[in-house]
Each structure stands twice: as C-alpha cells, then as structure tokens.
A and B are shown apart, each in its own frame.
Chain A
Amino acid sequence: MRLRKRLLPYARNWQLYLLLVPVIAYYVVFEYVPMYGVQIAFKNFLASKGIWGSPWVGFKHFERFFESYFFWRLLLNTLGISLYQLAVGFPVPILLALMINEVRKPLFRRFVQTVTYAPHFLSTVVLVGLLFIFLNPNTGLVNNFLKLIGLEPVAFMTEPGWFKSIYVLSGVWQQMGWSSIIYLAALSGIDPQLHEAARVDGATRLQRIRHVNLPGIMPTIIILLILQIGSLMGVGFEKVFLMQNSLNMDSSDVISTYVYRSGILGAQYSFSAAVGLFNSVVNFVLLLLVNLIARRMNQTSLW
C-alpha cells in the first residue's frame, strides 16, 4: 500500500516518462557515453580491444602534448583568438543594441534589424568563401579598392599576421545583429518610468543611455560575459579550419583543429582525446571560476 502511494506520481505521468525515453537515450548515447569514453585519453587505444579493453597508460599522452613543439603555439593561438574576439566581438552587439534602441522611426528600425540579422544565416563555408573572394590579392574587391587609392594589394588569407583580425572582424560582421537581439529584449524590459524620471531630472540622451539603459541590461551582459569566458578555450573548429592553410598555420593552428588533424586524420585517438580533454577541462574550470567571481561581485551568475 505504501509502495503504491510512492509510485503513484510516477504512474500517473507514465506517458510523460515514455516521451522522455528517446530523449534520455539520446543523451546517454551521444553525450554521456562519450564523456565516459574520455578515458581513452588515459589509455593506449587499440582498435581490436575497443575503448574499454585497451590498457591504461596514465598521463602519458598529456605529457607528450605538453612537451610537444606545438603546445605553446596551440595554446597561445587558441587564447589569442578568443581574447581578441571577446575584446572586439563582445561589446559591439551591446553598442548596436543601444543604438537601435534609440531609433524612434519603426520602419528604419525594422530595416536595420532585418539587414544586420541576415549574415547570421550564411553558413560558415559560405562566409569563408566570401572572405576568399573579397580578399583575393588579384581579383578581390578589397584589394581592388586598395589599388584604387594607390596602396599595395595584401594577401590577406595567407599572411599569418592578418589571420586573427580577419577571423574576428568577419565574425563581428556576421553575428553582431543576431547577438544584439538579446540586449534589445533586455532593453525593452526597462521600466519607462525610469526614463521619465531621468528626463525630469534633466538627463540628456547620452546620460540616460549611460545611467538607465546600461545598468538595465547589466545582468544580461554579465550572464553572456560569463558564458563567453567559459568558452574561451572553445574557439570554433569550423571557421578556423576553413580559413586555415599551410601559409597561415603559425597563427591559425588552434587546439580543435589539432585534435581533428591528429585524431580523425592521423587516427591517434588516445593522444588527441587527451588534447581535447585538456581543452574541455580548462574551459570548464574557467567557467566555474568566472561564475564564482561574478556571484561574489554582484549577485548575477549562471547558477
């Protein structure tokens, strides 16, 4: 009888649990089994014995990675691109949202939004393809323009010094509009009375943006900042990989592309799983750390 009472809430919603079966199956198979499979980073993976049967080797692969010639280059590029992106790519959508929010002609506002969201829907392949087209040293529009004003054409895509700037600025071009949506949502949630009060006190537009709008969206900013810093080591594979070529490798090789090269192409599963795990762990620790700091400082945090 008592057992039946305990089981009742489950039994009543059995259909909901049935719905969850495929969901749980997905998470187990494609998320949690790989997490468990991460142990191959500490093993010498032998295809014949599988992940579970292969012999343990401890931190051997990690040591090999830390001592390898590539380690510092990969780490510095990964962090370099991320920090650059954080410094430039993070504030731009905030500024854009603040600016769009000040537009009072609804038609113009809609137009700006529609246009700036559009590049978000281009695929990474197409975006990088566009970069190659526009930055081509002989036929590209940018170099045509440079020639027009009497400057030397630049081989943007093969010059290591240009890689990070092109990566970050094209990312801003593609994502600023889309990323601004969240801030616009937060801005629309600000109490109009605050603006009224500020206006009565004689605040100018700029002052109201600084003292009403900006503080109003601060919690959103902090949450997104935490998430960004928490993925500092997670420079996206796709775009870097597509922009990469043998000539710009010095500044374009990052951990994720290295994992792909040594793991999928080179079939060194254990070694590149170790590299990947190092990356995820640093990332996760960063996230915890930043979240902790944010919580200490002003009570806004992810959890």
Chain B
Amino acid sequence: MGETRGDRAFDIVNILFLCIITVLVIYPLLFVLSASISNPAKVFAGELWLWPKEITFDGYKRIFANKDIMTGYGNTILYTFVGTAVNVVLTICAAYPMSRKDLKGRNVLTVLIVFTMFFTGGLIPTYLIVKDLGLLDSIWAMILPNAIAVYNVIIMRTYFQTSIPSEMQEAASIDGCDNFRILTRVVLPLSMPILAVMVLFYSVAHWNAFFNALIYLSDRTKFPLQLILREILIQGQTQDMVDMNDDTLMRKMMEAESIKYGVVVVANLPVLMLYPFLQRYFVKGMMIGALKG
C-alpha cells in the first residue's frame, strides 16, 4: 500500500508539531540548568538564551554551605526512604489479599477502599485526627496519613491478578506453602516490575511532598526540602544566603537569582536522573492501571 502525498504531508506536519512541543517543554529546563552555572550578571541582563555564559559554580557553593537547605535535604531523604518503605509494604498487604479470588469479604473491602477515592473527610477532620494522635511535628505526620494510595493498590492488585498465574499459586499451596510463603517466595519475586513502579511513584511523591509538611510541621529542623524551597523560590527569602559584604543591592539581587536556579537543579537532580532508567517500568505500570483498573 503506497503512501499518498497527503499522508507524507501529514507526517511532516505531525513531526514538526511534536518538535515544537518538545522544544517548549525542554527549553525552560535547559535554561535553568544553564543559568545556574552562569555568571548571574549575564542572566540578569537577559543575555542568556540557552548556553551558559561565563561559567561559575558560586551559586552551588552557597547552596551547599546553607544549613537550612542541607537539613531539608537530609529530612527529605529520610522521609522518602522510610515513607516509601511503609507505602510499599502496606500496598502489598492490601493488594495481595485483594487479588485472591478465594478471599471472603473481598468485594466489601474493595468498595470500602475505593470509596475513599471519591469522598474524604476533608482537611479539618483529618488534621484533628493527626493532632489528637500526637503526630504533629513528628516524622510520622509525613508518613502515616498517606500510608497507602488507593490508585497504587488497584494497579498492584491488577498486576497480581493478570501477570501471575493463579495455577502457580495453587501448585505452591499443594506443595505445602502457606499464604505468607506464596507471597514471599512466588508472588513477590515475579513482581519486580510492579514493585519498581511502586517505589518510583511513592518515592517521587515523598520527595515532592509539601502539603503535609506545611500543615503538620512547625519545627524548622524537621522541614523537608520543599518547604525550604518555597521560602527561597516563592517567598524570596535568600537574604541569609547572600554575602552581606557585597557592596551593592544589585549584586545581592543577582546572587539571589543565581541561587534560585541552583536550588531548582539541586532539588530535582535525583529524581530526574533516576527517571529515564525507570521509564519503561512506569509506563508499563501506568498502562496496567489504565487498561484494567
């Protein structure tokens, strides 16, 4: 079947459009990267368009010398590790039994869990519970209120049901495996792709989490990176990072800008570096959730 002229024209227009979209998406990201290692004066004067000018790492030096950012970074790493571990374990605890057709009460459970996707108690009652439990200002306020995401449970349950033959589980059961052993020896080893997806989804969520910290934390030493970033990027609090000996206000403003570019890079580097490697996994995970959710 030959290609018509119209088809070829369509191809060209299509690819052109996609190129424009790609440029629009990637340009701001590259710009930030360039700006973060450029002389702030050049950025400030609007002379920077894409490639870095007069490369300097001063902004980064200031960032790594800043105590708040480093504490925030440490906290975020801690919350991400502990939080993701709790998330993944609990999601397995929910998804595996729900995937078993022979589990009595499975439908009631599904309804109860899915219902929470559509209706919640809302901010204030949830806040009061967390407060009553004495979790305010503790690491657990960052972890427990979002310990399970319904959507991820559904994705995982679907994976267990569709990708792991139930005959295999029955065979293991006949061989004398109890349910724990079936889960740990048969099901989980076959579920590495979906576990990778879960780790990615949950850890990115923890890395970027801002809302719980804003509401539940008031102790600065427990602040995650995102709260510190908010102060720097949005509220413009960069005074304590800029060299007070700098003579002019202009100079200070420029340095503040360069710090902003730098923190964007520093905050996202781990996630952005990780993601191309995990891409094939998360696309798979999204598709499992999408097609059979």
Residues of A within 8 A of B (CB): 9-10, 13, 15-17, 19-20, 22-23, 26-27, 29-38, 40, 50-51, 96, 99-100, 102-103, 108, 111-119, 121-126, 128-130, 132-134, 139, 141, 144, 147-148, 173, 177, 181-182, 185-186, 189, 199-200, 204-206, 220, 230, 237-238, 242, 256, 259-260, 263-264, 269, 272-273, 276-277, 279-280, 284, 287
Contacts and interface: CB of A to CB of B under 8 A. Distances in A.
B253 to A, nearest CB: 8
A284 B116 CA distance: 11
Contact of A118 (B18, B25, B116): B25
Contacts of A111: 22
Contact of B179 (A13, A37, A182): A13
9 pairs of A and B residues whose beta carbons are closest in the complex: A34-B121, A129-B233, A123-B208, A37-B125, A276-B122, A144-B46, A34-B125, A185-B287, A273-B124
Contacts of B116: 27, 31-32
A145 B94 CA distance: 52
Contacts of A19: 92-93, 96-97, 183
Contacts of B233: 125-126, 128-129, 132-133
A117 B279 contact: yes
Interface in B35-91: 43-44, 46, 90
Interface stretch (B142-150, B158-166, B191-199, B239-247): B142-150
Contacts of A147: 46
A237 B211 contact: yes
B188 interface: no
A257 B22 CA distance: 33
Prevailing SS type, chain A contact patch: helix
Given A30-B144, A134-B28, A186-B291, 19 more contacts: A16-B103, A22-B90, A23-B148, A31-B120, A37-B121, A114-B276, A114-B279, A116-B21, A121-B268, A129-B229, A129-B234, A130-B32, A133-B257, A139-B46, A182-B286, A182-B290, A185-B290, A259-B122, A264-B127
A64 to B, nearest CB: 15
13 contacts: A22-B93, A29-B133, A34-B126, A37-B121, A40-B128, A112-B21, A115-B26, A118-B272, A129-B232, A130-B28, A133-B233, A205-B11, A206-B6
B230 A273 contact: no
Contacts of B127: 263-264
A186 B178 CA distance: 38
Contact of B145 (A30, A177, A199, A237): A30
Nearest to A101: B14
B6 A27 contact: no
Interface in B160-218: 178-180, 183, 204, 207-208, 210-211, 215
B264 interface: yes
Contacts of A133: 32, 233, 257, 260-261, 264
**Most chain A CB neighbours (cut-off 10 Å) among B46, B100, B279:** B46
Interface of B: 1, 4, 6-7, 10-11, 14-15, 17-18, 21-22, 24-26, 28-29, 31-32, 43-44, 46, 90, 92-94, 96-97, 100, 102-104, 109, 112-113, 116, 118-129, 132-133, 144-145, 147-148, 178-180, 183, 204, 207-208, 210-211, 215, 226, 229-230, 232-234, 257, 260-261, 264, 267-268, 271-272, 275-276, 279, 283, 286-287, 290-291
Contacts, number: 247
A125 B226 contact: yes
Contacts of B261: 133
Contact of B7 (A23, A173, A204, A277): A204
B179 A16 contact: yes
B31 A40 contact: no
B124 A269 contact: yes
Tell me if B's interface is mostly helix, strand, loop or mixed.
helix
A30 B17 CA distance: 46
Contacts of A37: 121, 125-126, 128-129
B207 A38 contact: no
Nearest to A9: B104
Contacts of B7: 204-205
Nearest to B111: A303
A68 B102 CA distance: 54
A40 B124 contact: yes
B234 A121 contact: no
Contacts of A173: 24-25
Given A23-B93, A40-B124, A100 B291 contact: no
